[in-house]
Structure 1
Amino acid sequence: MAKTSDALGETTTIRHGFFGRQGGVSSGEFDSLNVSVSTGDTADNVKKNRSIVAQSLGGAPLVTLKQVHSTRVVTIEAGALPDRAIEADALVTRHGDILIGVLTADCAPLLLVDPHAGIIGAAHAGWAGAVNGILENTVTAMEALGGQRRNILLAVGPTISGKNYEVGEEFKAKALAANPAAADAFFTPPGGKAHFDLPAFLVSDAQRIGLPAADNLSLCTYAQPDAFFSHRYATHKGTRTGRQISVIGMA
């Protein structure tokens, strides 16, 4: 049901999964493993789907946040778990008794681990979060817990590909104003408009900030609507769509 990263799978200290839209209880436009109530699905369906995800990875509590395309990272220390209404786009922790996850439907889910320090992270990277530094902020938060970026492994899960992410010149100007290093991630097909290769930018950004490697699963949400929820695909079809989840926890 869930996709996994070969790079993350090399360590036995974690369990993880990039879940798609299959294997849940929702129906219609949200068929079937939708994990978000904000799209119009019922709260009962979403609760059951989240339970299915958590149980498949051992059954620990599943922690998510209210994602707002920011660069804010929440560190989970000992004590009460953060409220789901907290606005942030990444989580990091050293605790082994929880699962942390991010919701996506074209944006990039990022799962990270420092297997030596026993620290994990999960981040939601839309284009704005990506060019403004959500990956580096997540790595910095992991370092604050005792991790070292030279040991941090990163996997980029299912996200919209550059081929299917037409954005235009206004978008390009905004992105480059925020981060000139994003220039190499833009391309314009003959006779077409500018496209942005989000996963390619994130892989490049990982190299820039000193991570040893980034495993891009190369799974396009837009190109596989039966396998993944895609906001852009649904918009083009005039329908609604759900959200899938990517999760990591200590083994």
Structure 2
Amino acid sequence: MFKLVIIEDEKYAANYLKELVKDLAKDMEVVEVMESIADAKKRLPAINPDLVLADIHLEDGLSFEIFESLQWKKPVIFITAYDAYAIRAFKVNGIDYLLKPIDEEELQASLDKFRNASLNTNLESLYSRILELQKGGNHYKERFAISIGNKLLSIPVKDIAYFFFQNKTCFIQLFDGQKYPYTESLDHLSAVLNPADFIRVNRNYLISHAAIDKTEVYAGRNISIQLNPPAAEGSIVVSKDRITEFKCWLDL
């Protein structure tokens, strides 16, 4: 069993990453979650994990300081919302560099890379991937352009309560009660919206935190949500496979 340590100062992000590892890697165990550079410098050597999953931006600085200070030799997978530090990550035992929001398939590939390759293999391939990430950027959408007849509306994300799928069409629901059809899928929208503000709760709804009017737990575990503006069917239900993620997101 491989020992993993997560270094992440956002509780929701740490818990979500921990659950992902649990689901994706039965041969790996997250033995500790650390929230700061100071804490990691003090405790990491004693734990001596096989792999570290580290956010770059921590409240007390950049996590590179941990590995440079400790002269860390074990592999690290860096996870961050920014892409400006890719080359530096590569220089401090970074075997991969993942951008938030975390894609399960990319994390799985990173864990497989850890299992199957030493730090000295496939470096040229890794370097190319890092350069691609640097070029790509990771900017969440701030506005949506909507065509209504011969008009083109620009809708700020802050005005959007939620997105929903109905009658084979995706709709944008605004806080003022207006709704508009939109051509992209909920899967695509999940990837371009800030995960701190929006979450996919089931097959048909992607909601903002600000749109939640009331949340109720029933039958011991199931969760229903009342939205404002209200959903057409009244309350909506969080899918069973998204309950843990939703609870962590509420605790953000």
Fold shared, TM-score > 0.5 on shorter chain: no
Structure with the larger RCO, 1 or 2 (CA within 8 Å, 6+ apart):
1
The TM-score normalised by the length of structure 2 is 0.27
Give the structure with the higher percent strand: 2
Q: Which has the larger radius of gyration?
A: 2
